[in-house]
Structure 1
Amino acid sequence: MSVKPQLKIPATYMRGGTSKGVFFDLADLPEAAQQPGKVRDALLMRVIGSPDPYGKHTDGMGGATSSTSKTVIVSKSTQPNHDVDYLFGQVSIDTPFVDWSGNCGNLSSAVGAFAISQGLVDADRVPENGIAEVRIWQANIGKTIVNKVPMCNGEVQEMGDFELDGVTFPAAEVAIEFMDPSADGEQMFPTGNLVDTFEVPGVGTLEATFINAGIPTVFLRAESLGYDGTELQEAINGDAAALTRLETIRAHAAVRMGLIEQIEEAVQRQHTPKLAFVAPGKTYTASSGKVIQADNIDLLVRAMSMGKLHHAMMGTAAVAIGTAASIPGTLVNQAAGGGERTMVNFGHPSGTLQVGAETQLKNGEWRAIKAIMSRSARVLMEGWVRVPAEVLE
């Protein structure tokens, strides 16, 4: 019996924000996987350890959650005035597919550091000390992201005292700007309304704000779902009926937003749209045990990711939150107390997050200029990831 040795592929395992994933330089991938398609998807699924009917990712690099079953491919940019192209693949845990329909805002914070370390950013754009502004083309959604990466003695500075709820240890702050985050050629509010009423079979009639900013997202009032907005993961992820109901709502929202034509297509589009529910600020205890005081937050937000309640907040959903909060009349803005605002501080299961947004009303349509937030990023391991050679067959 002839057995092929495993492939060795250069890779870096990184944390970005409250997520972590396997990062690749496009040029380091096997030639057959340097192009989109079945071979690339099969390779990335095997790297992560999916599909895994046990839901553990024991035989791969994934962590069996939506926040840790992620892959990133970076290359020198093909776009003018950009440093690198960044492609994000959300790997399903228990089914055989990779969702390329959106971005990961958390891992966006690690792209600049990875690109500098890999020599993908021209040396004259990287200071010996200070801040390197890495211009990133987000290839999944065709948008520009700017990472402001701290540098020290010619190397990326990873350590610092910036604390991020949902991440155990402090690190260096990375400021991120998501430029023009609404979808190109589409209304930021795909239905044309700030608030819609829509009927979900088996659930009932709900009010919702549908928005394309950062990532397509549907916002609901927590109380309409029987929640108060202070829920932690165990309150929802251990309730099979609740998960089914929330996924049904998300699927119908995808149709309403024009992302899919038939409800059945939602199973192959788990990454988008996101579903989140909001409520006015209220004192609660975060998953870490820290008490979050109502006076320190503008509102509460809980968000679903890949069928489960997220342990903190997805970066792209935070962009949607900040954008919607800045526009008077949306459900997010109402939960935050109404009025005009350029910054919002919201409570999530792990703590709080502040995000800013600049929006503009022009010719009767809202447009997002940019969204701003801070995250941190750190290399966890670098070297080679190994996968069975037959994955390329």
Structure 2
Amino acid sequence: MKKEKNFRGWIRFMLTGLLIMVLAFAGCSKGTDQTATAGNSDQGQTAQSTTIKIVDTNGNAKTVDLKSLTQFKGTATFKKSTGALVGPAEISGPKLSDVFKAAGIELAPSDAFEFVASDGYTMTLDYMQATGNIMTYQEDGKNGTVRQLDAIVGITCSDPEVGEGMPRLCYVGQDNPISDGHLWVKMVDTINIKAGVADWMIKLSGYEEKTIDRATYESAASCTETPHPVQTIEIPKSNGGADVYEGLGLWMMVAVVDGGEKVDGHYSVNRDIVRSGYTVQVITKDGKILEYTSQDVSYNEKIILAYKKNTSILGDGEAPLVLIDAQNADKAPIIMKQVEQVKLLNLPKISQ
């Protein structure tokens, strides 16, 4: 009986440890951390599945055999949220544009492209990203510049880590370009063509300054491996029904700039300073401000920054993010649209 109690205690300890882990915004991206299902060997990587379903804006679906298309070959490296570079590797597969052509889809600048992985992870790209016009980096992983790359759906790769989870969206060139790993969606199963989405960035400031773009935020929010998944809050409509908002807890944004430790790309709230009662300001595009104390925000899943409404990326008038505060069950939720900044004020000094 004593051994059984010790074993149960150990299990509780492990579960408690798991619950304090939180998702990093790009670190939990499937571009870098998604569990692979493709074949693996010391010689490289080859996709087990070589078909993708393309669904147009009318809901019509067509399955495309990637092997049947012209194979394009290039080299590439991707950058993890930790700053580590993975690659270089030689990758081959059809160009993304050829995949769409095979499905009878003509790309238009007004389109958006929702990539759905076989494990349910999603990432929405705009026209520029889908056509390979993305941020790239120098050999040290710094000093990014936008340039044109070839977007391909990789099905073979010379390096197991770069090619993990094929078929995989890859950005290649002939000179080993370096790009953000969160765009390298793994285990691509379906691509849904949707109405266009605008790209955006939100500013975070605390002990340091950070910016989070739409793709990074969506990558974090749709990660299937985090112990703190995306939250949903329903807002009743006056004429019946409800709007469903999805997003991450405000506390997760706070954790990015509150001086807490980051291990392997995972953030957690800096509990050492929460009791100081610092101020968390949420600021909208037109300058409206809502304030909370650090104690109000810490690990509070009832205050979220939504990036989706009724399963679609927020549109004009609500984007980039909508703050939904539903912590008071006796009152209607607080709704604040077009959130662009989160600031931490009156932070205590941290000894060096």
Q: Common fold, TM-score beyond 0.5?
A: no
TM range (shorter): under 0.3
Which TM-score applies when normalising by structure 2?
0.27
Which TM-score applies when normalising by structure 1?
0.25
Structure whose alpha-carbon radius of gyration is higher: 2
More helix by share: 1
